[in-house]
Structure 1
Amino acid sequence: MSLQTPSRQYVLGLDLGTSSVKAVLVETESRAVADSQIQETKAEVSSMEGDKGREQDVARILSALHRCVAALPRECLRKVCRIGVSGQMHGVVLWKNQEGCVWQSTEAGFTFQPRGTSHLVTWQDGRCSREFLDSLTQPDSHLSLATGFGCATILWYMRNRPQFLESYNAAGTIHDYVVAVLCGLKRPLMSVQNAASWGYFNTRCGTWNLKILRDSGFPTYLLPVVVKSGAIAGKTAHEWYGVPEGTEVGVALGDFQCSVYSCMTEKTDAVLNISTSAQLTFALTPAYLPPARPNPNTSVTNFPYFDGTYLAVAAALNGGNVLASFVGMLKQWTQELGQEVPESTIYSQSIHAALNIARTDLAVQATIFGERHSPDQLASVTNISPSNLSLGHVTRALCRGIVENLNSMLPCQQLIESGVRRIMGSGSALTRNEVLKQEVEKVFTLPIVYGKTVDSAVGVAMVMLDQK
């Protein structure tokens, strides 16, 4: 079908994040964002697992989704030709298939509400302890299993609250659920990207580890049917705030892959994003296949991307959150000294002071949050002398430490040897911090381009626009 007919001019991109939902309208010919809306979900709810549990109310998430879509121009929604949906990976929501929602006719048009769904257990959930994970049969996959992964969470329920699962016959990520509802699917579909993020999925052969799961007592009837990332899942079963009935909907995709798609202009680009955490990634060649088994000590993970390709991803736990902790520490010190200085002032003055210091011999190992491949590696400060204890020296050393940590995980030389020609720099912590930019440009010697926004909602719309 043509995506450029006069009556069908927009792709609707939806991203269901951990704390907010975003909706964008991308004009098909110009590929420009015509409008966008974002709403906080405020969906966190208490869990029976106490501090270890991280759960969200599905109704609140859908309410935020409806508010976003309803706020978009109705005349544009009537011209939507495709819908793309991305969202927070790893997590799991359960429902009764074909009974998990109810469509309602309102003055604003048709809308849907959840019915009998479980809470969403998010990717942040911590109920699966290391002891529990070690007791499980290890997956036939190149990706390690972790708490918060959908299959791990379901296995936890099987062992600890098996009666909980008896009310449901379908499961998926929150964005898989939305696609199933929009299309009225008899059985949910899941992309390779989301399946890989659930655990017990072999991306090399594209199948669930069914024998391992069955032998573990896993209710395999809950598993969605897996299709390729970028496939069309179905068509909308109802008109939705002006979006026509019969509009094609893509299978739900991973928010990370879609964020990369939104700014990786060329196949030879790498994407460096420093926000709360930090990620450095590039696309591997089409011939690349991941190893059969995970290497728990490696700092680079291979995530499935599109058309059978993979991303090499260094996902650091330490990014802008390190600077935020530094600013918080300084604020606490000033309070203890009887002064009250806003964090914004501390941050801006720290950056200003560091800009007056071209380089420093102070060294900061900026891994205060550890790393997945080295969880016990914390932060340290070395080479301290009387001449490098100023605010400027410490701030610059901290920024350099954040960048050097990323470079230790995925060295610039490896990027060059892999054919990367430039780096797309993005993320709030990077784009608003000139010192961090300077340190990135010292460590990563490739050309760096700033200004390209990383946006999963835009990315998933672009994916749908590019599907033939």
Structure 2
Amino acid sequence: MSTYILGIDLGTTSIKVVLLESGTRDVVASYSMQTSSDIVDSSGIKANEQDTGRIIDTLNQCIQKLPADKLKNVTRIGLSGQMHGVLFWKARSGCDWSRRNCFIAKDTSQLITWQDRRSDNDFISTLPKPNSHLTLATGFGCVTIFWLLRHRPKFLEEFTSAGTIQDYVVSMLCGLERCVMTPQNAGSWGYFNTSTNQWNLEILEAAGFPTHLLPQCIPSGALAGHTCMDWHGISVGTPVGAALGDFQCSVYSCMNTSTDAVLNISTSAQLSYAMPLGFTPPSSTQSSSPISYVPYFDSSYLAVAASLNGGNIVALFVDMLMKWMSELGAEIPKSSLYEKLIGCALTQDTSDLTVLPTVLGERHSPLCLGQVTHISPSNLSLGHVTRALCHGIISNLTSMMPVAYLHQAGVTRVVGSGTALARNQVLRQEVERAFSQMTIEYGQNADSAVGVAMVLCDRL
């Protein structure tokens, strides 16, 4: 009888679930669904929050779409999800299991996502310096908690636990009294030393930080516990892996050798490769460095250039055009507009228009906003602008991690993945120009849900 591993990825905009056959590692079933959980910010503080209840409801709907006969034979559950963000809950009442075979969110905050920008650079400059090679940035969990401590201290008093959205789901599935977190997620929060695998407790306590909210750290790839209830036909007592970062899991799903680099362009964009075993990151990294070293597995690290500006910039461009047309009294479906833009750009092989697409800034340079230069009467067509925008997205990423760095690291193949790259032929053309001296592989798409299931297949 075949057995299966359930892989779950709680992404920024959607949730994906897969069933991986334990013996063959083949994906035998999958389903994904948009969460539509964004909460409109009317506060003026640049908040970015999502409805926790809607996220959990979407998760339940996704699991229900998988074959019931296979769910009965699930032997392990793995979760990954959006990193940096923070969710608060009450440990003993964080969910309601009264509905048959599933839980719903209860006594939780909304999810404050990695895109939250209320703690700006000026605010971060007032925080104590962390004992970590990873620098602080807006949207990081500990930074957000510091902001809440200063501006909404009563809010924090309502809760006993904090974690990422994937940590929360693991805690609810296992009925944990205290949240557990892997170094992959802890490193994304700030104030965590990946060499010692410890929070900077002395630094945080001296600053009045509510350290009782911090999760207990356990190794990436370790077991968090077992399901405390039957869940959509999956038996009580099923092992559940500690939640992992979606970025690391996406890399794990498609990085076959140490000579691979993974380029992922979805909402944001990342370019990464594996550091040699035994590599130790510098004790501190300058905040202006665009390359960071994030924890992977077995005390290893990935070198990563993580851009905040990826497919979301194309989406912003489309939304801008939609708004302009609406103001002019013209209407066109968004999907049709997107297809027309790509079609126009495909007829324009290059453009002398220059677009720096850092509309959202970058973590290493938060004040560097977007620019359009070399404008002339001959390069203002939609084809020119769209081509220049796509070229700018790739150029921005390779300016953060130059191709020469990859050559020096022995990289010979770039695995391209992500929804934006899959949908956008113009982006793929620009990738092929940028990495013309390397093999480009698109067939093995990075997939966090598949990756986390593979981790459990290989390590538990």
SS in 2 for 1:144: coil
Q: Which amino acid is 1:447 matched to?
A: T
Q: Which amino acid is 2:236 matched to?
A: E
**Runs of 5+ unmatched residues, structure 2:** none
Aligned: 1:97 with 2:95: no
Candidates 147, 155, 160, aligned match of 1:156:
147
Q: CA deviation at 1:24?
A: 1.3
Aligned: 1:64 with 2:55: no
Distance 1:111 1:378, change over 3 A: closer
Q: Distance in 2 between matches of 1:112 and 1:360?
A: 53
Q: CA deviation at 1:387?
A: 5.6
Candidates 294, 298, 302, aligned match of 1:311:
302
What does residue 229 of structure 1 align with? 220
What does residue 26 of structure 1 align with? 20
**Contact 2:274 / 2:302 at 8 angstroms: preserved in 1?**
yes
**Contact 1:142 / 1:293 at 8 angstroms: preserved in 2?**
yes
Q: Distance in 1 between matches of 2:86 and 2:266?
A: 25
1:23-422 correspondence runs (5 A): 23-45=17-39, 51-104=45-98, 106=100, 110-327=101-318, 344-383=335-374, 391-422=382-413
Percent of matched pairs sharing the same residue? 54
RMSD value, Cα: 2.7
SS in 2 for 1:104: coil
Q: Distance in 1 between matches of 2:412 and 2:272?
A: 13
What does residue 441 of structure 2 align with? 449
Distance 1:181 1:358, change over 3 A: closer
Distance 1:146 1:382, change over 3 A: closer
SS in 1 for 2:217: strand
Q: Distance in 2 between matches of 1:325 and 1:102?
A: 38
**Contact 2:421 / 2:428 at 8 angstroms: preserved in 1?**
yes
Q: Distance in 2 between matches of 1:427 and 1:191?
A: 24
**Runs of 5+ unmatched residues, structure 1:** 1-5
**TM-score relative to the length of structure 1:** 0.89
SS in 1 for 2:279: coil
Structure ID, larger Rg: 1
Q: Distance in 2 between matches of 1:113 and 1:343?
A: 33
Q: Which amino acid is 1:136 matched to?
A: L
SS in 2 for 1:198: coil
Aligned length: 459
Q: CA deviation at 1:237?
A: 1.5
Aligned: 1:440 with 2:424: no
Q: CA deviation at 1:308?
A: 1.1
Q: CA deviation at 1:194?
A: 0.9
Q: Which amino acid is 1:172 matched to?
A: G
**Contact 1:49 / 1:127 at 8 angstroms: preserved in 2?**
no
**Contact 2:137 / 2:363 at 8 angstroms: preserved in 1?**
no
Q: Distance in 1 between matches of 2:34 and 2:316?
A: 24
SS in 1 for 2:188: helix
Q: Distance in 2 between matches of 1:355 and 1:125?
A: 35
Q: Distance in 2 between matches of 1:441 and 1:241?
A: 44
What does residue 9 of structure 2 align with? 15
Q: Which amino acid is 2:171 matched to?
A: A
